[in-house]
Amino acid sequence: MKSLWGAGFLAMSVVVLISGCTTSEGQTVQKDPVQTAPSSSAPTSSAAPASSEPLACGDLADLAQVDQALQSPTRPASFPQVWLAKRGYSELTTYAVDAAGGITCAWVPEDDRPDSPWLQVAVLPHAPAAISPFLYGDGPTDETRTIGGRVVTAGCGTPGCGVIAIVNGTWIDIRLNIPGLGTTGTPLGSIDTIFANASPAMSAVFAAIDNATPGQLAWPTTSTFTQDKQASLTTGTEVCESFLPAARLGAVIGDPTVQWKAWEEPAVLAGISDLASTRAGIVKCTAMGMKSVEMDLAPGNAWMAGDIGTNPRESVTFEKTLLPGQIDTEGTFSDCADRTNRPCTAVFSIGSTTVEVSGADRSLAVAEAITARAR
């Protein structure tokens, strides 16, 4: 094996969200100053859960409450009952919350059609005192609503409505994803109706976290990549180069002008995934030139490649293949076979790291170049 930073990074060992709705959360907020997220001034519910085990998705809200959030009185009675499920998406950052010691959950209609609304909850303990509540669009949200007696940051945009709150020292991000909101229309009614129907489920989440013991908020982390290791190694851009030098990438995609640039943590945390990605050690690389390529790295989490490959988004189907140099327990999942001359995604594990390459029509060739360099 070649001696390179990337290979060491792989061995050293970063990501299980299920949520999946990607907005512009990763952007640095510029409009408003940092603000303290509305905290719970509301009374707590009557009794804390008896178990000392970490809370599960089913402890946060029950199906009747979720069903009310996802349906309106005009929905047919035959609309399928919701089911509690983890939902995999292809961006590694959607796994960041779980890798960083939080939990992410999704409640999805049984038929899981692309036009069906669904509810996602992300919970991350040890929240900073000051955050910039960021829901939709390109800036922080200053609107508030009272949900279950708590004043929380709230807002709607594409593709839905959501709330953010700090409860019991824990960052809670709840999103009701509503395809068609603001464009083609939604069967869930007006914004006020949407929040009214979602309020019981949201209130239940807040109460469960508020009443939780430290042990119930101690979800396991899948990341073994600590911040002191990250600080002692090298810059993010050099990490990108170590996996595949820009010159080699340029030869693969036919663009000699391409250069790597690593995502840097914004001065103001725009969303829960910002904090979780930093804690989990995720490295996001963007190569820009006449063409562009995205490469995300999740050291210490090789299992993610298989999880993403078997839980693709909506109608996308990933095929598994072994690239030269990969062993049977690794493998690469991609949708490139069905996307000739169009951007596609390749997700693969190498050593202890999951790597995702996207945004290029030759993502599979880029993946092959990365594995060849590491072996």
CATH code for position 285: 3.40.1000
- Chosen domain end from 161, 189, 217: 217
Q: What percent of the chain stands above pLDDT 70? A: 71
Q: Are residues 250 and 206 in the same domain?
A: no
Q: For residue range 123-155, list pLDDT tens digits in order.
A: 999 988 777 778 787 778 889 999 999 999 999
Q: Write down the pLDDT at residue 45.
A: 42
> 355 or 278, which is more confident?
355
Q: How many angstroms from the chain centroid is the CA of residue 214?
A: 24
> 232 or 97, which is more confident?
97
**What residues pair up with 35 in beta bridges, in sequence order?**
131
Q: Are residues 146 and 100 in the same domain?
A: yes
> 20 or 290, which is more confident?
290
297: closest CA among 15, 17, 89?
Answer: 15
Question: Does residue 260 register a pLDDT over 70?
Answer: yes
Among 22-26, 35-39, 163-167, 261-265, the range scoring the smallest mean pLDDT is: 22-26
149: closest CA among 37, 45, 36?
Answer: 45
Q: Are residues 299 and 246 in the same domain?
A: yes
Domain count, the chain: 2
Among 142-151, 256-265, 284-293, the range scoring the smallest mean pLDDT is: 256-265
**21-35, 297-311, 361-375: which is most confident:** 361-375
Residue 227 — pLDDT band, cuts 50, 70, 90? very low
Q: Who contacts 259 (Cβ-Cβ below 8 Å, separation ≥6)?
A: 246, 287, 288, 289
Q: Write down the pLDDT at residue 138.
A: 73
The neighbour count for residue 321, using CB atoms within 10 Å, is: 17
Going from the C-alpha of 242 to that of each of 9, 90, 138, 339, the distances in angstroms are: 9, 23, 32, 28
**pTM for the structure as a whole:** 0.75
In degrees and rounded to multiples of 5, residue 20 shows phi and psi of 105, -20
Question: Does residue 344 register a pLDDT over 80?
Answer: yes
* 22/279 Cα distance (integer angstroms): 19
Q: Are residues 242 and 320 in the same domain?
A: yes
DSSP E strand boundaries for the chain: 82-85, 103-109, 118-125, 144-147, 150-157, 160-167, 170-177, 259-262, 283-288, 292-299, 319-321, 332-334, 344-350, 353-360
Q: Are residues 213 and 242 in the same domain?
A: no
Q: By residue range, what is the domain housing residue 250?
A: 5-15+222-374
DSSP sequence for 305-355: HHHHHHS-STT---EEEPPTT--TTS-EEE-GGG-TTS-EEEEEEETTEEE
Residue 81 lies inside a defined structural domain of this protein:
yes
**135-144, 236-245, 265-274: which is most confident:** 236-245
CB 269 within 8 A of CB 275: yes
Residue 47 lies inside a defined structural domain of this protein:
no
**Burial code of 131-145, b = ≥16 C-beta within 10 A, e = fewer?**
bbbbbbeebbbeebb
Q: For residue range 161-216, list pLDDT tens digits in order.
A: 999 999 999 999 999 988 777 666 666 778 899 999 999 999 999 999 999 999 99
Residue 29 lies inside a defined structural domain of this protein:
no
What does the mean pLDDT of the chain come to? 77
